[in-house]
Amino acid sequence: MGLFFPLTIAREALLAHQRALGVVGHNIANVNTPEFSRQRPELAAIALGDRVGAGVRVADVRQAIDPFLEARRLANTSALAAATTGRDVLDRVQGLFPVQGPGIGDALQEFFAAADALATHPQEIATRSQFLGRAESLAGQLRGAAAALATMQHETDGQIAQAGRDANGALATIAQLNRSIVAAEVNGGTANDLRDARRAALDRVAQLLQINVIEQGDGSVSVFAASGATLVAGPDAATLATDADPMALGLDGNPLNRIGLRDAAGSVIPLGGALGGAIGALVVQRDQTLPTNAADLDLFATTLRDAVNAVQTDPTGRDLDGLAGVPLFAGSRAADLTVAITDPRAIAAARSANPGDNTGALALVAVGDTTFGALGGVTLTEFFGTVQAGAGEQARRADDQATIEKTVASALAAQRDAFSGVNLEEEFTDLMRFQRGFQAAAQLITVSNRMLDDLLGMMG
Amino acid sequence: MIQRVTQATLIRELQASVARMQRQLVVAQETVSSQKRLLEASDDPAAVARVNRLRGETRALTALSDNVAFGTAVLGAEDAGLEQAETIMTRAREIATQQASGLTSPVARQQAAEEVTELERSLLALGNTAVGGRYVFGGLVSGAPPFANFDDPGFAPAIAYTGPGDPFVIRSGTDQSLRLTTAGNQVFGESLLAIDNLRQTLEAGTAPVASLDEIENGAATLRAERASVGARLARAQSRDQEISGALNNVRKALGGLEDADLTIAISDLVQLQSALQATLAAGSALQTSILDYVNP
């Protein structure tokens, strides 16, 4: 062991602590970087067989990552995105059935109140005009709600296509990062920051689709959809695409998109089963919730139309001029329900030649108290209340679910921070620790240098 | 329990707490300003269906209340008209009794005939009593009066009434109705005929012996109708009270479901504001760091 040996040890120590300080600096610099996982320099003694060791080196720079926690976070990301997406749509649906202020329920009450006034004043033109106005208002509210549901479905359909395009970008990024990570780690290195970037890309995909991720031995990951379809395999990414499904028509009569993987021939192979994530929630809302609400509105509108028109066209029904009554409402569903009568005199409020007869109007009023088998044995008011309460219940459940998933996400984020996050106090403590190590190594050089000076001085 | 707390955790928790309280504050402010606890269906889905039903009942009861108020006005007008008609018949009976004596002079009979003519005109006018332009003894129809004018050519009591024969009925409850009118000829027909016969007898200068029974029969019909109107009026007034009570109950139930308790709402709002201020103040403590103690 020569006098230069301590200098070699000191040099290795300086280099090791310099690198350790670099890692700490990297951590501090990324304290606010999302998805960044803190890194730790693994210091190891340089062994020289049975002799005294040769100092210290940075054996590895490891990331603080809990793979099981990351898997749980990824699953929660999909569930949270599905819940919040569903909640947003359902919140808009319940907005179509307001509890306070103008809406279908309000218009229905006004319609029957106007019918009541008509029964008391069957000859008054003003009362008849008011009745027609209330009927138009009710039909308008129904048309508006039906149109809003159709628009929401169209928007949701567009969002699915857009989400597919967004997912393609993230899938391509994952495939690219797979290539880079495999190349970086082939000689035993650790591409920590590339792995962080890949986790961020996986998180973006998980927001859109429920995915299963399997890490391969070479450091790449394979990504699968919930149905088992392969989305990423090593350096290759599949392409999500949409095409018009002629078998699935929307509320506006136009075909809806189906989402799937584009094959080599350019065809779209639909992704089967539950998709999960935001896309899964959008598909459920588009294909189930919105059509169900539209069907309820249609049932309400056609029942109202048939019941009122039956009164109007009763064989004994007569308008103010003694003419037979004509249907009040026209249209085949809520979206096209209109008031067919424009002349207030044409309302068949009478059931005799007597223009002051109010028995037809009384029959109109009675429609409000009638229970209908088609509506499940309830009145129009009660049925609408059920639709309204149903929309509210769905929105509330979705909100509860979103709150639960958000709470889970918050807990998982805290757990991740605890395991992988940067704590500045820790980093500054490490900073001082490695600084002291560096200073000590420098002191070792000074001492060794003096020893050499002393030795060389003896020769002088 | 989180063992290792990072800066990101502290900031995220602070942001989450502030965001949650701000959301609650928005809802609390909306509750105070609207004074409603039921702002959208998801606030209480079960209550929404009940609110709809109660609003339907409120609408129906309000309409019934309007109906009964209108009915009360019509029946009141009928009662007043019938009371005057009874007075006319009483006067007609007095004249008939006076003129039944063979000692009455022709001049006196002519004078009596003129008075009876005016009584007949008055009775016809009462038959055309209207409320809001609608004839209460003519099926509540508007337009042409149900009884012809005395001075019309070819006037005859038997054909004087041209109004509808069917009564006008209003709803006074879900399964209840109230008849407002009786066809004018059924009410005034006999009286008109009796007075018209009396007038013609007097104009002919003869003693109106037979008129006394006719007048009595007509007056009896008027009394019977007035009794019927009185009974229906009493029923209308009773229904008005019942409807008013029911309406109060429904409104109370509706208020219980959808109205906010303002005292609680305001105290909730103040409490949330205080909590938010405290959270923000506590957040400023997060600024303390090891950096404050490390010399570069």
Question: Distance between CA B57 and CA B41 in Å, rounded?
Answer: 19
Chain A closest-CA separation from residue B147 CA (Å) = 16
3-state secondary structure of A277: helix
Residues B200, B206: Cα–Cα separation, whole Å: 9
Q: What is the CA radius of gyration of chain A?
A: 37
Using CB atoms, pick whichever of B138, B170, B290 lies closest to residue A119: B170
Contact A119/B2, CB-based, under 8 Å? no
Question: Distance of CA B167 to CAs A97, A181, A238, A349, A368, Å?
Answer: 42, 94, 80, 15, 24
**Cβ–Cβ gap A421/B8 under 8 Å:** yes
- Residues A16-25, mean pLDDT to the nearest whole number: 95
**B134: which chain A residues are within 8 Å (Cβ-Cβ)?**
123, 356
Name the closest residue on chain B to residue A391, using Cα atoms.
B41
Closest CA to B228 of B132, B128, B129, B137: B137
User: Which residue's entry shows tokens 């209108």?
Assistant: B70
**pLDDT, tens digit, for every residue of A327-383?**
999 999 999 999 999 999 999 999 998 888 999 999 999 999 999 999 999 999 999
- Check: CB of residue A384 under 8 Å from CB of residue A377: no
Three-class secondary structure of residue B184 per DSSP: helix
How confident is the model over A285-334, as pLDDT tens digits? Answer: 999 999 999 999 999 999 999 999 999 999 999 999 999 999 999 999 99
**Chain A residues whose beta carbon lies within 8 Å of the beta carbon of residue B56:** 109, 112, 368, 379, 381-382
Of A385, A417, A429, the CB nearest to B52: A385
Q: Is the pLDDT of residue A76 over 80?
A: yes
Chain A neighbors of B19, CB-CB under 8 A: none
B141 at the A interface (CB within 8 A)? yes
Positive or negative torsion for Cα B286, A402, A157, A264 = positive
pLDDT score at A251: 93
Say yes or no for a CB contact (<8 Å) between B289 and A424: yes
A425/B49 Cβ within 8 A? no
What string of DSSP letters covers B100-165? TSTT--HHHHHHHHHHHHHHHHHHHHHHT-EETTEETTTTT-BSS-SBPPTTSTT--GGG-B-S-S
Q: Compute the distance between CA of residue A358 and CA of residue A311 in angstroms, rounded to an integer.
A: 12
Q: Is the separation of the CB atoms in A198 and A178 below 8 Å?
A: yes
- Asked if the C-beta of B5 comes within 8 angstroms of chain A's C-beta atoms, the answer is yes
Quick one: closest CA in B to A38, which residue? B6
Min Cα separation B39/chain A (Å): 6
- Within 8 A of B67 by CB-CB distance, chain A residues are 116, 119-120
Inter-chain residue contact A392 with B36, CB threshold 8 Å = no
Query: Which of A166-170, A195-199, B257-261 has the weakest average pLDDT?
Result: B257-261
Domain boundaries, given as residue ranges, for chain A: 5-64+421-459, 72-409
Q: Minimum mean pLDDT among A45-59, A69-83, A187-201, B263-277: which range?
A: A45-59
- The residues, ordered by sequence, that sit 6+ positions from A274 with a Cβ below 8 Å of its Cβ are A210, A226, A280
Q: Interface pTM (ipTM) of the complex? A: 0.82
Chain A touched by B209 (CB under 8 Å): no
Q: Do A119 and B171 touch (CB under 8 A)?
A: yes
Cα A217 from Cα A212, distance rounded (Å): 17
The pLDDT value recorded for residue B6 is: 83
Contact status of B174 with chain A (Cβ, < 8 Å): yes
Q: Residue B235: what pLDDT?
A: 94
Give the per-residue pLDDT at B93: 95
Tell me the residues of chain B between 14 and 33 that have a Cβ less than 8 Å away from chain A.
Answer: 16
Interface test with B, best of A417, A428, A429, A433 (most B CBs within 10 A): A417
Residue A390: closest C-alpha in chain B: B45
pLDDT of B287 above 90 = no
Taking the alpha carbons at both ends of chain B, their separation in whole angstroms is 34
Task: State whether residue B152 sits within 8 Å of chain A by CB.
Answer: no
Q: What is the mean pLDDT of chain B?
A: 90
Amino acid letter at B267? S
β-strand pairing of A255-262 with A268-270: antiparallel
- Report pLDDT digits (tens) over A145-157: 999 999 999 999 9
B141 interaction partners in chain A (CB closer than 8 Å): 123, 354-356
| Mean pLDDT of the B198-219 span | 90
Identity at A263, one-letter amino acid code: D
Model confidence over A240-260: pLDDT tens digits?
999 988 888 999 888 999 999
| Separation of alpha carbons A169 and A157, rounded Å | 19
Closest residue in chain B to residue A93, using alpha carbons only? B41
Classify residue A266 by burial, with Cβ atoms within 10 Å: 0-12, 13-18, 19+.
Answer: exposed
Q: Where are the beta strands (DSSP E) in A194-294?
A: 211-215, 221-225, 230-233, 236-237, 240-249, 255-262, 268-270
Task: Name which CATH class applies to B60-254.
Answer: mainly alpha
- Residue of chain A minimizing CA distance to B47: A389
Of the candidates A97, A357, A365, which has its C-beta nearest B41's C-beta? A97
- The residue to which tokens 């001075």 are assigned: B151
Structure-token pair, residue A97: 């059935």
Q: Which of B185, B205, B193 is nearest to B135 (CA)?
A: B185
Higher pLDDT, A346 or B9: A346
Instruction: Assess B3–A contact: CB distance below 8 Å, yes or no.
Output: yes
Helix (H, G, I), strand (E, B) or coil at A207: helix
Structural domain boundaries in chain B:
7-35+261-292, 60-254
User: Which chain B residues contact residue A99 at CB under 8 A?
Assistant: 38-41, 43, 48, 51, 258
pLDDT band at B283 (very low <50, low <70, confident <90, very high): confident
Q: How far apart are CA A403 and CA A397, in angstroms?
A: 10
Q: What are phi and psi of A348, to 5 degrees?
A: -85, 75
**What does the pLDDT read at residue A272?**
79
For chain A, give the percent of residues with pLDDT over 70: 99
Within 8 A by CB and 6+ apart from B212, the residues are: B93, B96, B97, B100
- pLDDT band at B173, cuts 50/70/90? confident
Interface with chain B: mutation pick from A27, A97, A381, A396, highest number of B CBs within 10 Å: A381
Mean pLDDT of B145-162: 91
Query: Over chain A, what is the mean pLDDT?
Result: 93
Cβ contacts below 8 Å, chain A against chain B, sum to: 178
Q: Which of residues 55-94 of B touch A (CB under 8 A)?
A: 55-56, 59-60, 62-64, 66-67, 70
Q: Assign B210 a pLDDT band (cuts: 50, 70, 90).
A: confident
Beta bridge partners of A41: A61
Residue B224 has pLDDT above 80, yes or no: yes
- The helix-helix angle for A104-120 and A125-185 (nearest 10°) equals 170
Average pLDDT over residues B171-192: 92
* Dmax (CA) of chain A: 143
Which region holds residue A325: left if phi is over 0, alpha if psi is between -120 and 50, else beta?
beta
What is the model's pLDDT at position B296? 54
**Given CA atoms B44, B49, B52, B57 in this order, what sign does their dihedral have?**
negative
Stretch B133-151: mean pLDDT: 92
Query: What number is the average pLDDT over the span B140-165?
Result: 91
Note whether A356 contacts B139, CB cutoff 8 Å: yes
Q: Answer with the residue of higher pLDDT: A247 or B81.
A: B81
Please give the pLDDT value at position A460. Answer: 65
Q: Do B53 and A391 touch (CB under 8 A)?
A: no
DSSP notation for A371-438: -BGGGTSB-HHHHHHHHHHHHHHHHHHHHHHHHHHHHHHHHHHHHHHHHHS--HHHHHHHHHHHHHHH
Taking CB atoms and an 8 Å limit, are A418 and B5 in contact across chains? Answer: yes
Candidate from B41, B290, B291 with C-beta closest to A388: B41
Query: Do residues A340 and A326 touch, judged by C-beta distance below 8 A?
Result: yes
Asked if the Cβ–Cβ distance from A424 to B66 is below 8 Å, we say no
Mean pLDDT, residues B113-137:
94
Instruction: Give CA torsion, residues B159, B160, B165, B167, to 10 deg.
Output: -160
A274-278, A353-357, B103-107, B282-286 — which one is most confidently predicted on average?
Answer: A274-278
- What is the mean pLDDT of the segment spanning B193-197? 95
pLDDT of A125 > 60? The answer is: yes
Nearest chain B Cα distance for residue A202, angstroms: 21
Q: What SS3 class is residue A46?
A: coil
Task: Report the pLDDT value the prediction gives residue A91, as an integer from 0 to 100.
Answer: 94
Q: Return all residues near A396 (Cβ < 8 A) that are at least 6 apart.
A: B42, B43, B45
For residue A423, pLDDT over 60 is answered with yes
Sign of CA dihedral A321, A324, A329, A330: negative
Q: Do A109 and B290 touch (CB under 8 A)?
A: no
Report d(CA A135, CA A330) in Å as an integer. Answer: 11
Which band of pLDDT confidence, cut at 50, 70 and 90, is reported for residue A459?
Answer: confident
Question: Between B192 and B8, where is the model more confident?
Answer: B192
3 state SS of B77? helix
In single-letter form, the type of residue at position A266 comes to G
pLDDT value at A176 more than 70: yes
